[in-house]
């Protein structure tokens, strides 16, 4: 053990010896910012506070974020022992809750590129923007491997290749750390969701009792997120049928496929892991002592701490006290209790006093949390406001250039009949159809400003249409969001997009392209000689007739705030280079479609296979532009 490690461990042990049971439990408690005040942090020695999806200050500016977070941090310093606080956010593709921050492509797009150096740079830029607002913890990266792409969190994963997922997750952890964990611009990653969250089977989620839910007000989480009133209609389309469901793979598959990326992320130095809502053969991960303690902390020698997901322990048992006992005894160290955090503290204190939870388990959990804070330099002033990055790094041009590069490189060219792409610079006219061609919100997807995201100009950014205008200055752009004009054009470009969603709200029974999009494609097809289809989505979608109608098909994923970059490979300013990392289905009936052993639909074949992706050369490298 190094002298620094010895000193740090000694400081943690000395602090533990001075803490009351209630103060220890305070360190294990993580409320949402709308349910706790700085005074609560000061009085109860709370270890962490979070902003849930959409848990933003008013106004939603970098300045307001910093003031809000510093208020909580300063209160923690004023508690009896002055233990620093860790503020956490879901910065899953940039500091995406903050209006004006750089929004990077979601992981599905970064996985298509497969470049660890780029992922490392994305993470470094994210860390600096987040740290500038006083936050030192992000609930990322997801090392999810989606088995069934109907899952609403598919876009949070890099793909269906465990080796690739591990390699990129390690790079992301390294990027968040930067020079050292104790640097003022280092960001604590939360590797999630342990274990196999992407392997849940369709129809096994028990998150919602569809017969009992009558309105959004029935659930505090959804009410807190200010979801639209069409929630019941989304339930009918398949929301919450996969997410938080059951995993039934055998232990060999669990280890070789789903555990493997965690090994890589922990080897890169990750100090925090988030448990999954789901279950394995019926036993919830939040009470799975074998996986959390024996495997993660024992076999993998994980020395960091495990945090629960949002109110996840509540699902373990109708008896809340049993939920608390079983989750903490299984190995959960910090509990995310967004609403009634006092209830949690009281329940855990009572459990310790009656011997249901050993004091040694409490001490182990708190020691792990304090060691992580120590490693982040919080006890040594690494969170002094004047040392952290200045607020002008939020949305900085250097970061937007990285996001631009990622958005430019991530589209996958799936089809290119007759060399329809790249579009020639001499093209006299181009019909551009689809509202998504000029919509920042649609190209960013979920987890953008709010939990679900939304269409429209929700944050500063550039769009595909702006990129086309830049790169085709001599081409007449016939812009028709609904494609209902009558004039013909030599080429047409239709942009369709999934509506923004997050988590189980994005689960679906099928992934068929909506009829309104198919009709749009058909209308444009009738008026052009060459048709290019661009799809903004968090996963492969079933194209149906559109697969034949289009001469070229581009999976542009969810490119983030710098959507103008998507135009570059389309017009030949750069080449297509990305490849599929997930199987692309022909029919929804063939799902799930994956490379992990037997599939439920005999003879099902993908429309496009993992590894597919056509390449093109930019016009500057071509001998004769077509």
Chain-wide mean pLDDT for the chain? 95
Are the C-beta atoms of residues 17 and 27 closer than 8 Å to each other?
no
Of 115, 503, 568, 590, the catalytic one is 503
- The structural domains of the chain, with segments of one domain joined by +, span 3-391, 397-621
Are the C-beta atoms of residues 65 and 133 closer than 8 Å to each other?
yes
**What's the burial of 355, exposed, middle or buried (CB within 10 Å: 0-12/13-18/19+)?**
exposed
pLDDT at 374: 97
**Nearest partner of 399 among 88, 154, 185, 191, judged by Cα:** 185
Work out the pLDDT band at 624, boundaries 50, 70, 90.
very low
Torsions phi, psi for 593 (to 5 deg)? -130, 110
Fold of 397-621: Rossmann fold (3.40.50)
Work out the pLDDT band at 496, boundaries 50, 70, 90.
very high
Is the pTM for the entire model greater than 0.85?
Answer: yes
| Span 7-25, average pLDDT | 92
Torsions phi, psi for 321 (to 5 deg)? -60, -40
User: What H or E segment, with its residue span, contains residue 443?
Assistant: helix 440-444
299 catalytic, yes or no?
Answer: no
| Span 276-281, average pLDDT | 98
The C-alpha atoms of residue 177 and residue 292 are separated, in whole angstroms, by 24
The C-alpha atoms of residue 93 and residue 558 are separated, in whole angstroms, by 10
pLDDT in tens, 341-381: 999 999 999 999 999 999 999 999 999 999 999 999 999 99
The CA-to-CA distance between both ends of the chain, in Å, stands at 65
**Position 220 pLDDT exceeds 60:** yes
309 catalytic, yes or no?
Answer: yes
Fold of 3-391: TIM Barrel (3.20.20)
pLDDT in tens, 57-66: 999 999 999 9
pLDDT in tens, 402-454: 999 999 999 999 999 999 999 999 999 999 999 999 999 999 999 999 999 99
Work out the pLDDT band at 225, boundaries 50, 70, 90.
low
Instruction: Check whether the bond before 376 is cis (ω within 30° of 0).
Output: no
Find the length of the chain. 626
pLDDT above 90: percentage of residues in the chain: 90
**Nearest partner of 264 among 184, 161, 113, judged by Cα:** 161
In sign, the C-alpha dihedral spanning 177, 180, 186, 191 is positive
Of 309, 374, 388, 439, the catalytic one is 309
Number of H helices, E strands in the chain: 21, 20
**Position 625 pLDDT exceeds 80:** no
């Amino acid at each position: 053990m190094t002298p620094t490690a010895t000193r740090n461990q000694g400081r943690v042990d000395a602090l533990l010896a001075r803490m009351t049971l209630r103060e220890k439990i305070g360190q294990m408690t993580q409320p949402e910012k709308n349910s706790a005040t700085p005074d609560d942090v000061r009085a109860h020695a709370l270890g962490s506070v979070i902003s849930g999806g959409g848990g933003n200050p008013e106004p939603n500016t970098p300045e307001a974020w910093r003031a809000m977070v510093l208020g909580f941090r300063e209160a923690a310093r004023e508690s009896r022992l002055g233990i620093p606080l860790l503020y956490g956010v879901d910065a899953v593709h940039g500091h995406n809750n903050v209006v004006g921050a750089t929004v990077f492509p979601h992981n599905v797009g970064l996985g298509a590129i497969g470049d660890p150096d780029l992922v490392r740079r994305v993470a470094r830029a994210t860390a600096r923007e987040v740290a500038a607002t006083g936050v030192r913890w992000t609930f990322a990266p997801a090392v999810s491997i989606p088995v069934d792409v109907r899952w609403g969190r598919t876009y949070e994963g890099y793909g269906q290749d465990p080796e690739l997922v591990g390699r990129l997750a390690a790079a992301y952890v390294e990027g968040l750390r930067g020079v050292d964990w104790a640097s003022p611009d280092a960001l604590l990653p939360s590797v999630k969701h342990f274990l196999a969250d992407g392997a849940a089977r369709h129809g096994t989620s028990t998150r919602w009792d569809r017969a009992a839910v009558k309105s959004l007000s029935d659930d505090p989480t959804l009410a807190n997120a200010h979801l639209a009133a069409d929630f019941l209609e989304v339930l009918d389309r398949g929301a919450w049928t996969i997410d938080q469901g059951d995993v039934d793979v055998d232990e060999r598959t669990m280890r070789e496929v789903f555990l493997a990326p965690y090994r890589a992320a922990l080897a890169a130095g990750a100090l925090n892991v988030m448990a999954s809502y789901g279950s394995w053969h019926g036993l919830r991960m939040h009470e799975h002592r074998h996986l959390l303690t024996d495997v993660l902390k024992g076999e993998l020698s994980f020395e960091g701490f495990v945090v629960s997901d949002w109110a996840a322990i509540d699902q373990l048992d109708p008896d809340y006290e049993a939920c608390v006992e079983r989750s903490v005894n299984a190995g959960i160290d910090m509990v995310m209790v967004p609403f009634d955090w006092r209830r949690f503290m009281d329940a855990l204190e009572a459990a310790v006093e009656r011997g249901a939870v050993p004091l040694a388990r409490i001490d182990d959990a708190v020691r792990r949390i304090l060691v992580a804070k120590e490693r982040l330099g919080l006890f040594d002033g690494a969170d002094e406001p004047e040392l952290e990055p200045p607020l002008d790094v939020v949305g900085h041009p250097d970061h937007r250039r990285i996001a631009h590069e990622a958005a430019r490189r991530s589209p996958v060219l799936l089809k290119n009949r007759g060399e329809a792409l790249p579009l020639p610079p001499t093209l006299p006219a181009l019909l551009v159809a689809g509202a998504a061609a000029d919509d920042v919100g649609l190209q960013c997807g979920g987890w953008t400003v709010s939990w679900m995201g939304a269409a429209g100009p929700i944050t500063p950014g550039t769009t595909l249409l702006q990129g086309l205008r830049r790169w085709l200055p001599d081409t007449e752009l016939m812009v028709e969001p609904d494609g209902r004009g009558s004039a013909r054009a030599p080429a047409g470009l239709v942009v369709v997009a999934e509506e923004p969603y997050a988590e189980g709200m994005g689960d679906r029974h099928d992934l068929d392209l909506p009829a309104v999009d198919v009709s749009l494609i058909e209308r444009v097809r009738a008026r052009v000689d060459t048709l290019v289809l661009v799809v903004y989505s968090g996963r492969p979608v079933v194209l149906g007739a559109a697969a034949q109608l289009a001469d070229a098909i581009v999976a542009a994923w969810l490119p983030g705030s710098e959507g103008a970059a998507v135009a570059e490979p389309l017009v030949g300013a750069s080449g297509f280079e990305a490849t599929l990392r997930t199987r692309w289905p022909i029919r929804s009936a063939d799902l799930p479609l994956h490379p992990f052993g037997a599939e439920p639909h005999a003879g099902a074949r993908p429309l496009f296979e993992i590894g597919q992706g056509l390449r093109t050369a930019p016009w500057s490298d071509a001998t004769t532009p077509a």
